[in-house]
Amino acid sequence: MIAVEELINQVKGYNPEANTERLAAAYKYGFDKHDGQTRHSGEPYFTHPVAVASLMAAQRLDDDTIITALLHDTVEDTDATYKEVGDLFGTEVAQLVDGVTKLTNLELSSKDDKQAENFRKLLLAMSKDVRVILVKLGDRLHNMRTIKHMRPDKQQQKARETMDIYAPLAGRMGMQWMRDELEDLCFKVLNPEARNSIMRRFVSLRNETGDVVTKITDDIEEVLFAAGVTATVFGREKKPYSIWRKMEEKKEGFSRLSDIYGFRIITDSEDDVYKALGKVHRRWMAVPGRFKDYISQPKSNGYRSLHTTVSGRDGKRVEIQIRTQAMHDVAESGVAAHWSYKNGERVENPFAVDPFKWLAGLTERFASEDHTNDEFLEHVKLEMFADQVFCFTPKGDVIRLPRGATPIDFAFAIHTRIGSACVGAKVDGRRVPLWTRLRNGQSVQITTAQGQKPQATWLDIVVTGRAKSAIRRALRAEQQESKIRLGRELARVALEHVGKKATDKALDTAADRLGLGNANALLAKIGAAEITGTELVEVLYPELVRKTDDQVDLPPERILGLEADQLAEPASCCQPLPGERIVGIATPGQGVLVHTIHCDRLQEYDSEPERWIDLHWSQGRREATHRATLQITMANGSGVLGRICTLIGEQNANISDLKITDRKQDFYRMTIDIDVRDVEHLIHVITAIQADSDVADCERKNRAD
């Protein structure tokens, strides 16, 4: 365990003005409170808070953050209280400890709606003070470093949560070193065989080629020295997880993967950064498409650097990052650089972002209450945890987007109105499909058209939470409009059936009596089959509605007018339904065929009046067992058929058969057999289908035997 003197010396190394008495008091308080507690490894529990405090000191953070790290588990795991911590070490420390405690209790990897609420709490904690997240990340890093002492199932759970949430969060905050280590520690738990395989490949490669990193570092230093550029060069092999991820993305084996080495050139000035870049490109061939200038277009967390990939010694590809020392400090610490101390004073790093402004920009997009829980989680994970690319508008404005973004994402990032009306795009002057994945530095021009609306298929194309939310809102609004149109037709049919009209006044009255906000809300519920036409009539004119099956125990519906020994069958030519005027034709040995009074087949029996039987339907319980055939002409478009089938189901009718009778490039014609209760039910179904904008025609079809 790190001794108190060692921790204090670490802090005083960058902040000689640190309050050593306060740090020592916090160390003793935490040590005493955790006395007797042990970790899974058997070590004293206090070794963990001290290790987290040392991680914070490595980031050159202020005294309050160091003390919070020392005490971050006291309120949760000991008899320490919020008030006691506040009285001893100040309100700010107490609030930070309380924030870390609450984060520790969040189940961010749960699969239910609770996860969405916990993500909201995570964002709230971040918005109050970023140092809460910094301590929590340090807490998770040390736990991952010592995870081997936990049960296997717990190791899997913690590693998956860390890989999905905490590692990307560290990267988004600019702490790339922490992200790399967290991902590799998780990789060791989640896929040990793959990691061990890559490690063996590295050992084999070193045996074959020697210490390539040292050789390339010497080559770069030689080139810079000859050019008079003062710089420090660092080289490294990339982490096993980074190598494995590239193998998965590129679908290549280790032997074919080239850029497995990374180098950093740290210069004294920004001029030397670009001078070093020129010398590197003059000495080695640059790999096309692999140059990124994050100095002229910095990331939102303050990261600035030049990235390039060159073919180095023996043709091996190496990635080189070039930046100044101040830029490097931000690259290493990210948002934490705002609190960094040097020689007892807060470092005024010109590249460090204000964490509160950074958080405001990050969280303002999540404030909308229009998201469902699933949409909110999707939005947060896409916007918080995605790597970014930078593209330009025709005017030169920079648009930041997640990696994998498309022109539609670009359009919505400019303005929702432009995204909604997007019909095409040009990238670097060339027309491209809307599903094209954008790359860094590209110029994008969006083409719009009046009347264009977001398409459902766009949801599978876009990757930004902003675009997905806007598209879903537009689709919901369009569906709402469709329901209102359908509801208006159904209301009209239902009221005309009893000799009334669906006036605005009648609809407003019905909406008021049903406790709905307005007529449109009523019509939307009728269109969605949540309120039936009969219920609408009953609300307005209860005296015109017959008692329903729920009010009177009616016998099953049957046909009246038959002899006791006669059996009736509906004629397939006209498919009679309850509510229609019917007549029977007696056929010796076959019973009675029931026709509608308007069936053309009845002309065949004009000369045989003795076979005619006057029939009518009883007032009984009606069920959706009566067959009717519809002929539908619809647009040949994606999702149209599925939407029609859904409309039929929403009207509580059942599809018993479906056949496409004519298939053209722009339209289909088909027949659908459905089971309905009566003729009124059939009218409701036809009205619902006709209200769809992609349906050209829908009518009842009389079928021949």
Q: Tell me the CATH number for domain 4-190.
A: 1.10.3210.10
The CATH code that applies to domain 194-346 is: 3.30.460.10
Ranges under pLDDT 50 in the chain: 112, 369, 382, 547-552, 705
Name, in order, each residue with C-beta under 8 angstroms of 534's C-beta and a sequence gap of 6 or more: 494, 545, 548
Within 10 angstroms of residue 330's Cβ, the number of other Cβ atoms is: 28
Reply yes or no on whether 77 is catalytic: yes
Domain 626-700 top-level CATH class: alpha beta
Sheet with 422-427: list strands edge to edge. 430-432, 422-427, 444-448
Separation between Cα atoms, residue 53 and residue 65, nearest integer Å = 8
Dihedral, CA atoms, 648, 651, 657, 659, nearest 10 degrees? -20
pLDDT of residue 23: 93
Domains 4-190 and 194-346 share a fold: no
- What integer pLDDT is reported at residue 6 of this predicted model? 93
Alpha-carbon span 649 to 30, nearest angstrom:
64
Residue whose C-alpha is closest to residue 34's, from 19, 52, 16, 8: 52
Q: Is 432 helix (H, G, I), strand (E, B) or coil?
A: strand
CB 118, CB 108: distance < 8 Å: yes
Predicted confidence at residue 69, as pLDDT, reads: 94
The DSSP result for 465-501, as a single string, is HHHHHHHHHHHHHHHHHHHHHHHHHHHHHHHHTTT--
pLDDT given for residue 109 in this prediction: 53
Estimate to the nearest angstrom the gap between the alpha carbon of 245 and the chain centroid: 21
**Cβ(616)–Cβ(582) below 8 Å:** yes
Domain boundaries along the sequence of the chain: 4-190, 194-346, 474-544, 559-617, 626-700
Neighbours of 681 (CB within 10 A): 24
pTM over the 0.85 mark: no
pLDDT of res. 372: 55
- DSSP letter (8 states) at residue 321: E
Instruction: From the candidates 77, 383, 538, 650, give the one annotated as an active-site residue.
Output: 77
Question: What pLDDT is stored for residue 687 in this prediction?
Answer: 83
d(CA 702, CA 705): 10
Residue of 17, 35, 43, 76 marked active site:
76
Q: Would you call 164 a catalytic residue per the annotation?
A: no
